[in-house]
Chains A and B, each alone.
Chain A
Amino acid sequence: MMNSGTQSDFIRIENIVKKFGEVTAVNNISLNIHQGEVFCLLGGSGSGKSTLLRMLAGFDDPTEGRVIIDGDDISGKPPERLPVNMMFQSYALFPHMTVEKNIGYGLRRDGVSKAETKQRVDEILELVKLTPFASRKPSQLSGGQRQRVALARCIVKRPKVLMLDEPLGALDKKLREETQQELLKIQRDLGLTFIVVTHDQEEAMTMADRIGIMDMGQIVQVGPPRELYENPNSMFIADFVGSLNKFKGVVQGQEGDITVVRLSEEVSLKIHTGFEHNTGDEVMLTTRPEKLEIFAADSDAKPTTQNIVDGTVAFVSYMGEQTNYSVDLGGGVIVRIAEQNHHMSTKVSIAAGDKVKVAWPARASHLFSA
């Protein structure tokens, strides 16, 4: 079913702008989406991600710019004439039709014969494991089953692109993980191109091949999840994805690759960012909690990181799979550290008030201009 190879410009979004009166919802976005990939648009409410999706699906016309899907300019075409389908956040299942009728709806509208519709609907029902529910109404299904009907209703049409608006938003946590994997398996098996809109960064990180992070109607950074997490190009991205320690600091000097940043009277850190920084610059220093390691002050361990900072534990919270520590490094610098609780861990005895050492690798931090 899948075309050979991946087209890197299967969907071309060119300088697209959408204004509602005076408000600019989408502000000059250009983006290429590859065939067969899962692309996630991640952003908060009002970031313009849903507006962009609605334009791709043909519900809204762009004020400026155009969208080209597989070589066809879709601008100005009504949604029923586009080779894309959308899975709505509310699923939008037709309440008066059975599961079977819901799934067959799109095929019948395309003029597919009754017999072929029946056959293709049966195939898809099998695929999403809903065969026993074919003659039920949507109101007689559970949330997860409704989600699968909504998915089946789209993929039965073999769309070039499937848009998913917060696909897992209405499911509870346990069901989400399961559904996510099923969704990706179907995507891979059928070679579909997915565009997923979500505000949930965890959902985006686990599903996407690439993520485009949106803010104020613009795409701030595009890249694979790992790149966004490890190398955010702005303070906004660093803060938006994952949890983060943020400190105000001043650049003290540059020694080769190493930048020395002073966070307080007591705390100065050696940082390796791959860039040179000007002495005296005010910066924001960021570090992910799991990049740091905590040791009891009297521990025999000899960490080899460039920075080993003394501190006092202010707070410990046991989270099950990990433990979070807040460590006061002095001068008002409080750092959060997350450690996995593997069964050999010797750190169970660390408690609030204990003196500790924090191992802080030079490459674990990023600097942004304050």
Chain B
Amino acid sequence: MPRFLKFSLWAGFAFLYAPIFVLIAYSFNASRRGSVWGGFSTHWYGELFRDEQILSAAWVSLQIGVMSATGATILGVLAAIGMVRFGKFRGRTLFAGMMSAPLVMPEVITGISLLLLFISAEQLFGWPAGRGMMTITIAHITFCSAFVLVVVQPRMATMDQSLEEASRDLGAGPVTTFLLVTLPVIFPAIVSGWLLAFILSFDDLVIASFTAGPGSTTLPMLIFSKIKIAVSPDINALATIIILIAALGLVAAMLLSRRRTD
């Protein structure tokens, strides 16, 4: 029944993407009222780029995204090395479980627990002093590193281990071998892990809300606070841009993880 199958396919796509297309369409709406179509216009995009508040929130989000993606990638890759290269060490199962727990942990709980941690750490050691970009970044690193691990570990596990042995055999020490052979071979996975972490961090509202402080409003936080008053059309434009960035990032991550090195 190919007709039925075709119909189901398009129904499925519509279910998934119709809201997004509606949003994109409305971002080009000339009307000020969100629910009425007033003709095509790119007015709201221009408005968007004149809005200091939005631009600074975007800048905050971008910085946090880059820092936390980088931090999460370092931790995730180190964890992957531990999981793949150190055999069946004591507590490996526990380690694997602990590393991937943030994948299934409700964000609200991650947010509250991190907030409590930051507050008590501040009381005990005086660091981190107050909450802001630093605390959001730390929070994002904790849950993003689990995603990086999930992306990098399979790549590392399927890497021909004789490549590393060949490198040792040809006279390279373990560190040189890692830098010159292992790292380049798993590089595509590292890049897609980084991109995934960046997008997760850029998108995050819940954890950021718990761990943010004055002056560290991220873009999702700003959007959320704005639509509490009214859905203003410039938010549609902003959302469209974010969708575009996220889509590009995901496609890039997919292409990279698919690319074969041999």
B160 to A157, Cβ gap below 8 A?
Answer: no
Is the CB of A92 closer than 8 A to any CB of chain B?
yes
- Cα of A89 to Cα of B162 in the assembled complex, Å: 9
B185 to A78, Cβ gap below 8 A?
Answer: no
Chain A residues near B184: list those with CB within 8 A.
Answer: 94, 96
Whether A80 contacts B169 in the complex (CB less than 8 A), given A90-B160, A96-B184, A96-B185, comes out as yes
| B176 CB, nearest partner CB in chain A, Å | 7
Contacts of A102-117 to chain B: CB distance below 8 A? 105-106, 109-110
Count, chain B residues at interface, CB 8 A: 20
Chain A residues near B60: list those with CB within 8 A.
Answer: none
B262 to A95, Cβ gap below 8 A?
Answer: yes
Chain A residues near B225: list those with CB within 8 A.
Answer: none
Contacts of A48-85 to chain B: CB distance below 8 A? 57-59, 78-80, 84-85
Closest to A101 in B: B180
Is the CB of A45 closer than 8 A to any CB of chain B?
no
Interchain CB contact (< 8 A) of A88 among B166, B171, B173, B262: B166
Write the B168-192 contact mask toward A (1 if CB under 8 angstroms, else 0): 1111110010001100110100000
Is the CB of B209 closer than 8 A to any CB of chain A?
no
Is the CB of A139 closer than 8 A to any CB of chain B?
yes
- Cα of A75 to Cα of B18 in the assembled complex, Å: 67
Closest to B187 in A: A96
| B167 CB, nearest partner CB in chain A, Å | 7
Chain A residues near B162: list those with CB within 8 A.
Answer: 88-90, 92
Whether A92 contacts B171 in the complex (CB less than 8 A), given A109-B176, A138-B262, A139-B262, comes out as no
- Cα of A303 to Cα of B133 in the assembled complex, Å: 99
Is the CB of A86 closer than 8 A to any CB of chain B?
yes
B171 to A86, Cβ gap below 8 A?
Answer: no
Is the CB of A148 closer than 8 A to any CB of chain B?
no
| B180 CB, nearest partner CB in chain A, Å | 8
B262 to A80, Cβ gap below 8 A?
Answer: no
| A3 CB, nearest partner CB in chain B, Å | 22
B163 to A94, Cβ gap below 8 A?
Answer: yes
Write the B104-148 contact mask toward A (1 if CB under 8 angstroms, else 0): 000000000000000000000000000000000000000000000
Whether A109 contacts B171 in the complex (CB less than 8 A), given A88-B166, A92-B165, A95-B185, comes out as yes
A157 to B170, Cβ gap below 8 A?
Answer: yes
- Cα of A287 to Cα of B256 in the assembled complex, Å: 60
Chain A residues near B160: list those with CB within 8 A.
Answer: 90, 92
- Cα of A316 to Cα of B187 in the assembled complex, Å: 59
Interface core residue of A78, A79, A157 (most chain B CB under 10 Å): A79
B169 to A110, Cβ gap below 8 A?
Answer: no
A95 to B170, Cβ gap below 8 A?
Answer: no
- Cα of A193 to Cα of B171 in the assembled complex, Å: 19
Chain A residues near B180: list those with CB within 8 A.
Answer: 105
Chain B residues near A262: list those with CB within 8 A.
Answer: none
Whether A109 contacts B172 in the complex (CB less than 8 A), given A79-B165, A88-B165, A96-B184, comes out as yes
- Cα of A88 to Cα of B169 in the assembled complex, Å: 10
Chain B residues near A138: list those with CB within 8 A.
Answer: 262
| B128 CB, nearest partner CB in chain A, Å | 40
Interface core residue of A57, A84, A94, A105 (most chain B CB under 10 Å): A94
Is the CB of A153 closer than 8 A to any CB of chain B?
yes
Is the CB of B261 closer than 8 A to any CB of chain A?
yes
A80 to B168, Cβ gap below 8 A?
Answer: yes
| B175 CB, nearest partner CB in chain A, Å | 11
B261 to A85, Cβ gap below 8 A?
Answer: no
| A89 CB, nearest partner CB in chain B, Å | 8
| A82 CB, nearest partner CB in chain B, Å | 8
Contacts of B56-113 to chain A: CB distance below 8 A? none
B261 to A96, Cβ gap below 8 A?
Answer: yes
Supply 19 A–B pairs (Cβ within 8 Å), ascending by A: A79-B165, A79-B169, A80-B168, A80-B169, A80-B171, A88-B165, A88-B166, A89-B162, A90-B162, A92-B160, A95-B185, A96-B184, A96-B261, A105-B170, A105-B172, A109-B170, A109-B172, A138-B262, A157-B170
**Which residues does B use to contact A, with CB under 8 Å?**
160, 162-163, 165-173, 176, 180-181, 184-185, 187, 261-262
Closest CB pairs A-B (n = 6): A106-B170, A109-B171, A92-B166, A92-B162, A95-B261, A95-B262
**Which residues does A use to contact B, with CB under 8 Å?**
57-59, 78-80, 84-86, 88-90, 92, 94-96, 105-106, 109-110, 138-139, 153-154, 157
Given contacts A59-B165, A88-B166, 20 further A-B contacts (CB under 8 A): A57-B169, A78-B168, A79-B165, A79-B168, A79-B169, A80-B168, A80-B173, A86-B165, A92-B163, A94-B181, A94-B184, A95-B163, A95-B262, A105-B180, A106-B170, A106-B171, A109-B176, A139-B261, A154-B170, A157-B170
